[in-house]
Structures are given as C-alpha cells and as structure tokens.
Amino acid sequence: MPILLWWFPAVVEDRETSTTTTTFPDGSQSTTQTVRSRMGLTIDKEFVKSVPGVLKLVQMFLCFMAFLLSEIGVCFWTCGAYNFFSFVTITSLLYELWIFLWYLSHGYMKISRVCWEKVDFIGTCVVIGLNLLASIILAAQAYDGTGSAAAAFGFFATISFIAGAYVTWKLWKEGQEKVRIAKLEAQAAAGSPDFEQGSPPPYDSAINPNAI
C-alpha cells in the first residue's frame, strides 16, 4: 500500500479554477467559479521500447514465473525455502512494477530533486542479493522438478537484474556528468570560472528525461 500511495501523486487529478464575473443591466453582478479537472497522467511510450523498459518487463516476467512455480511446487520439510523464495520473488515483482510505472507515467519528474537512477540502482542491488540467496536455497532444497524450475527462473531473474543494475549505473553516471557540464556552462556564461563551495547541485531529471 505505501508503494501505491507513493506513486499516486503522479496520476492524481490536476485542478484548474477560473472565476467568471457577469454584470447584469441593473448593475448587479454574479460570480461563477468553474473548476476543471484533468488527469496528470502521462504515458511515455518510448520508455517501453527503451533498454531499461524492456529489461524491467523481462524481470517482471521472470519473477512472476519463478513465483508461480514456487507456489505450485510440492514441499514437505523444505517449505521454508519455498516460502522465502515466493516472498522474495513477489516482492521483487512489485518493486519492479512500481519503478516501471513510475517512469512510464513520468512520476519521477514531479520529484526532480531526487536522483532516481541512484535510487533504482541501490534498490536493484538489494533485489539481486535477495534473489540470488533465495534461488540458491531453493535449488539446494527443491523436492521436485517444479521447485528446481522455480530456482532456475530465479537465477535467470537475478541475471536480468544484474543487467538492469549495470544499465541504471551507466545512466546514473551519465546524468551526473551532464549536471556537471551544465553547471560549468552556466558558470562560464556568468563569467565565474570558480566552483561554488558547498553541497553539489540537486539532480535535474529534465537533463536526462528518459533515464531510469
């Protein structure tokens, strides 16, 4: 639920209020206030075709298959391994779904002071560790072929997460470099070549709008 509430501001309605004043022949006036609502949801179709977008779709599919197989697998004394694996895979699926929708709807632009590539990279690294651990445990304690297949999908998902982390890391570094160049250009235009001491500038997602 907190994840859905965090994403909700990206799709809530934006409201426009306009006031109209009408003057009648007798001199009296009537004021009418009109409230117009429009959905703030923006769909970035190009993101679905991009490398990060495709990777996230693959990750969600692999996590779903791993979760499904672990749920229908037979366990006796190894149910703890199955339950842990199911928890990790479904949590990873929900995390990737949130990130996917967050970028698909341009929700990250509403909080542009956060470096979302960094957030995604750290989150993906955590997901990699959990999926690798859960897959190893399940592979060692799988009772039947279904459990082994679930573990295999878990390993495949881990590989896809590693690829996604690499792509996100590259975009994160590219975003930092673009911010640095933009700052240098701004200083050059202002005739101040010296760097301003203090904290680094906030990340501007508009510089790299298709990043993830």
Alpha helices in the chain (DSSP H): 2-7, 45-49, 51-72, 79-104, 116-141, 145-190
- The pLDDT score that the predictor gives to residue 26 is 54
Summarize pLDDT for 83-134 with one digit per residue, the tens: 999 999 999 999 999 999 988 888 777 777 778 888 899 999 999 999 999 9
Average per-residue pLDDT for the chain: 76
Q: What is the mean pLDDT of residues 149-161?
A: 96
Q: What is the mean pLDDT of residues 177-204?
A: 62
Summarize pLDDT for 55-72 with one digit per residue, the tens: 999 999 999 999 999 988
Phi-psi region of 197 (alpha: psi -120 to 50; beta: other; left: phi over 0): beta
